[in-house]
Amino acid sequence: MQASGKHAGLGLALVSAFAFGGSGVAAKPLIEAGLDPLHMVWLRVGGAALVLSPLAWRHRALLRRKPLLLAGFGIVAVAGVQAFYFASLSRIPVGVALLLEYLGPALLLGWIRFVQRKPVTRAAAAGAAVAVAGLACVVEVWAGLKLDALGVLLGLCAACCQAFYFIFADQGADGDDAPDPLGVIAYGMLIGALVMTVIARPWEIDWKVLGGPALMGDTPVPAPLLLGWVVLVATVFAYLTGVVSVRSLSPQVAAVVAFLEAVVATVFAWVLLGEHLSTPQVIGGALVLGGAFIAQTARPAPVPEAEAQQPVPVPVDRAATTA
Mean pLDDT throughout 299-315? Answer: 49
Task: Please count the other Cβ atoms lying within 10 Å of the Cβ belonging to residue 238.
Answer: 23
* DSSP assigned state of 323: -
CB 72 within 8 A of CB 255: no
Q: Name the pLDDT band for 188 (thresholds 50, 70, 90).
A: very high
Chain centre distance of CA 266: 17
Q: Quick one: DSSP state of residue 3?
A: -
CB 182 within 8 A of CB 56: no
Q: How high does pLDDT run on average in the chain? A: 80
Distance CA 135, CA 139 (A): 6
Instruction: Give 230: exposed, middle or buried? Use CB within 10 Å, 0-12, 13-18, 19+.
Output: buried
Residue-wise pLDDT for 34-49, tens only, equals: 888 889 989 999 999 9
156-174 pLDDT, tens digit each: 898 899 888 888 877 655 5
Better-predicted residue by pLDDT, 317 or 226: 226
pLDDT at position 311 over 70: no
221, containing H or E segment? strand 219-222
The rounded distance, in Å, linking the Cα atoms of 16 and 259 is 11
Report the predicted TM-score, pTM, of the whole model to 2 decimal places: 0.75
d(CA 305, CA 316): 27
